[in-house]
Amino acid sequence: MKTKQKTVAVHAGSRLTGSKAVPVMPPIFPAAVNWFDSSDDLSDALDGKDYAYARISAPNAALLEEAVAALEGAEACVAYASGMAALRSLFDAQPWKAGDVLVMPTDGYGVTRALYKNLCARWGVELRPLDQTSPDAPARIREWRPRLVLAESISNPLLRVPDIRALAQACKDAGAVFAVDATFPSPFGQRALELGADYAVQSTSKWLNGHSDALGGTVSGSKSSIDPLRSARILSGDVLGPFEAWLTLRGLRTLPVRMKAHNEHAAHVAKRLSESPLLERVIYPGLSSHPDHAVAARVLEGGFGPMVAFEIKGAGQKEGDRFLEALRVAKPGPSLGDVGTLVMHAASASARRMTPEERAQAGIRDSLIRVSVGLEDPDDVADDLLAAVEKGAGR
């Protein structure tokens, strides 16, 4: 039978034949649907043994999951359309009962807090913020016996560094599931699973991607802990698109090289900032003045992280806005992990969805600025920040 042109136009060129070449960089597989010559093969694919429908599994996301699992030292990984979708999946995976307890950092990411507050209210779960860097934090976990504990390797935005190993032991003693959002240090800076966490979470939009051009999130852990998440994702539809997965995998290839430089630049910028009389304090785990400096030296690898924060003396929202508008090298942006330096006013960005009372409890003041240090010359970054501080302070 001679196939007509309309049919040829739809189907021709859909299979590669005759080549044994393996591309250095995997291609993008945008197809949402795949077909099979064999009905048995199709049936197997619908059971997850091959790629049938992109909501079930897809090649680019699977390649990224394999790479992130390897970086995290995990048996398995599942990728999501965003970091928030990854955090939502952890909540949904727990067998909640009314009266159960969820523990998260007092000074953690404001959007995570808003998400978990909403979900806890729906399920009758008690959300208990905890200063996870306090000496009695492990004792509180053992006492409260929570269902789920979420920690942040480096808290957002105050850059506190909890002792993940001590918290992990407390969670084990209390029978709690322990998840660590390790986005700030990335797997280069901390492999939370090796410190005892059940799950390691990444917003891949940040350092793993590294170029601010693709959203995504991952959860890594043992195969038995990840399989239920993967099954649930089929129903929730929180899948990572092929182009986003491809871009993130491309960025991930240079993660160790980038993070080494980001960490070194952040340490240099923090030192320069600490010499300014216009700053109330400079917050960086690598400074001896940081309250968790000794802990950070134990639980962070390859440096003290790529994030710096500081408080401008006497500054409020108005002075913070003037500071942001005065930047010339760094860019005011509500994210992190880019090759360029990104700066934000913490109270109006990362902590925007926290109440004033919650911000006060966490210690997030209107004078607080958070910096994601990029790959520019660190002296150029420091000079830019210091000049903007002077303008913001009206000097």
Residue-wise pLDDT for 238-261, tens only, equals 999 999 999 999 999 999 999 999
Q: Is 4 a catalytic residue?
A: no
Which pTM was predicted?
Answer: 0.94
**From edge to edge, which strands make up the β-sheet containing 279-283?**
279-283, 307-312, 368-372, 342-345, 331-332
The pair of structure tokens assigned to 395 is: 């000097």
Residue-wise pLDDT for 53-92, tens only, equals 999 999 999 999 999 999 999 999 999 999 999 999 999 9
Of the listed 55, 140, 142, 322, which one is catalytic?
A: 55
Q: What does the pLDDT read at residue 155?
A: 96
* Cα 191 to Cα 138: distance, rounded to the nearest angstrom: 20
Cα 141 off chain centre by: 24
* Cα 109 to Cα 349: distance, rounded to the nearest angstrom: 10
Q: What does the pLDDT read at residue 395?
A: 61
Of the listed 206, 230, 272, 359, which one is catalytic?
A: 206
Mean pLDDT for all residues in the chain: 93
Give me the mean pLDDT over the 147-152 stretch. 98
Domain with CATH 3.40.640.10 in the chain: 39-252
Buried b (16+ CB within 10 A) or exposed e, 76-86: bbbbbbbbbbb
Of the listed 107, 163, 181, 292, which one is catalytic?
A: 181
The pair of structure tokens assigned to 48 is: 């997850």
The pair of structure tokens assigned to 266 is: 């952040």
Cα 361 off chain centre by: 23
Give me the mean pLDDT over the 358-374 stretch. 85
Q: Which residues contact 238 (CB under 8 A, 6 or more apart)?
A: 80, 81, 82, 85, 88, 89
Is 364 a residue whose pLDDT tops 80? Answer: no
CATH 3.40.640.10 fits 39-252, yes or no: yes
Q: What does the pLDDT read at residue 355?
A: 76
* Cα 214 to Cα 353: distance, rounded to the nearest angstrom: 23
* Cα 304 to Cα 264: distance, rounded to the nearest angstrom: 9
Is 391 a residue whose pLDDT tops 90? Answer: no
Q: Report the percent of the chain where pLDDT is more than 90.
A: 82
* Cα 173 to Cα 171: distance, rounded to the nearest angstrom: 5
Annotation: CATH topology of 256-392: Aspartate Aminotransferase, domain 1 (3.90.1150)
With H, G, I as helix, E, B as strand and everything else as coil, classify residue 249.
helix
Q: Which residues contact 284 (CB under 8 A, 6 or more apart)?
A: 159, 266, 267, 270, 290, 304, 305, 307, 308, 309
Residue-wise pLDDT for 331-350, tens only, equals 999 899 999 999 998 867 66
Beta partners for residue 220, in sequence order: 77, 200
Q: What does the pLDDT read at residue 394?
A: 65
Residue-wise pLDDT for 172-202, tens only, equals 999 999 999 999 999 999 999 999 999 999 9
Q: What does the pLDDT read at residue 274?
A: 98
Is 131 a residue whose pLDDT tops 80? Answer: yes
Q: What does the pLDDT read at residue 356?
A: 77
If you ran DSSP here, which 8-state letter would residue 183 be given?
A: T
Q: Which helix or strand (DSSP H or E) is residue 178 part of?
A: strand 177-181
Residue-wise pLDDT for 98-111, tens only, equals 999 999 999 999 89
Q: Is 181 a catalytic residue?
A: yes
Long-range contacts of 10-14 (CB under 8 A, 24+ apart): none
Q: Closest by alpha carbon to 268, among 158, 367, 374?
A: 374
How many helices, marked H, and strands, marked E, lie in the chain? Answer: 15, 12
Q: Is 109 a catalytic residue?
A: yes
Rg (CA), the chain: 23
Is 360 a residue whose pLDDT tops 80? Answer: no
Domain with CATH 3.90.1150.10 in the chain: 256-392
Least confident of 38-52, 202-216, 252-266, 367-381: 38-52
The pair of structure tokens assigned to 138 is: 């492990």
Give me the mean pLDDT over the 163-168 stretch. 98
